[in-house]
Amino acid sequence: MERSESEGPGEAAEQAPAAAGRQASEQAPGVAAYDDPVYRPAVIDLLGVLAYGELTAFERLADDATMAPTLEDKAALAALAVTEFHHFERLRDRLHHLGVDPVSAMEPFRTALDSFHRHTAPADWLEGLVKAYVGDGIATDFYREVAAYVDAETRALVLEVLENSGHVVFVVDRVRRAIAEDPRVGGRLALWGRRLVGEALSQAQRVAAERDALTALLVGGVDRPGMDLAAIGRMFARLTEKHAQRMATLGLQA
């Protein structure tokens, strides 16, 4: 998944979710909120979808490593896959700590995420890299936004597993190098990036429609801060803007 490390043109915009959600973060519910029958399922859903996302990221990076053109690239992707699995373990352990079966927490998201990956199976090494950076980046940004509305301990864990693990530098270097060697690659990958953003947004809408608890986490409640319609609109504008910045960082047109 895409992380928070410097991304060239898009670096400044990475601060947007934190700035936009700072006030909500300061007011985010504490541990006592786990007694709230609305809040607890929402956090479990958040941890569950992230855990399954990290598990599938591990699988995909391991698969992509088989398409790597060099041993150096194969080793680099294998190392990134291991990092994703460690992130999964952190989320799994947190769910255990909350008295929740991790498999049960992940299961509701299996269909939506598996469907997304079936519809966005990369045809080659470069498409796999763009998917890992652009496609996963949209989800990463969204979950950073959601993290502004959870308790401090959960927020710290979510931001930890969404941190950059060297993925950005590696992907940008390889994609830009390929475009420099054959400019025609840029047009093909730009079309692929546009397809990815459409599929990613459809997947996010499906998850939100099926999981009311996650939606409730964003809109808040009587005792919890949340987003109004205008704030939700600004959030999606930030997600779209950052997608375009990622594409530009890769040397592609959004």
Instruction: Please check whether residue 6 lies inside any domain of the structure.
Output: no
Residue 111 has which token pair? Answer: 């269909």
Burial of 72 per CB tally in 10 Å (0-12, 13-18, 19+): exposed
Instruction: Please check whether residue 21 lies inside any domain of the structure.
Output: no
Per-residue pLDDT of the chain (254 residues; tens, 9 = 90+): 444 443 444 444 444 444 444 444 444 555 556 777 778 998 999 999 999 999 999 999 999 999 999 999 999 899 989 999 999 999 999 999 999 999 999 999 999 899 889 999 999 999 999 998 988 888 888 888 888 888 899 999 999 998 865 678 889 999 999 999 999 999 999 999 999 988 887 877 777 777 877 777 777 665 566 676 677 778 888 888 888 999 999 999 87
CA distance 109 to 26: 29
CB 54 within 8 A of CB 87: yes
> pTM here?
0.81
Distances (CA, A) of 154 to 30, 47, 132: 10, 9, 24
Domain assignment of residue 164, given as a range: 30-250
Residue 218 has which token pair? Answer: 């964003």
CA distance 224 to 149: 8
Number of domains into which the chain is organized? 1
Instruction: Please check whether residue 140 lies inside any domain of the structure.
Output: yes
pLDDT at position 1? 45
The CA-based diameter of the chain, rounded to the nearest angstrom, is 57
Burial of 215 per CB tally in 10 Å (0-12, 13-18, 19+): middle
Instruction: Please check whether residue 221 lies inside any domain of the structure.
Output: yes
Instruction: Please check whether residue 10 lies inside any domain of the structure.
Output: no
pLDDT at position 22? 46
CB 125 within 8 A of CB 69: yes
Instruction: Please check whether residue 13 lies inside any domain of the structure.
Output: no
Instruction: Please check whether residue 14 lies inside any domain of the structure.
Output: no
CA distance 189 to 252: 7
Instruction: Please check whether residue 246 lies inside any domain of the structure.
Output: yes
CA distance 254 to 106: 32
Report the CATH number that the domain containing residue 201 is assigned in CATH. Answer: 1.20.1260.10
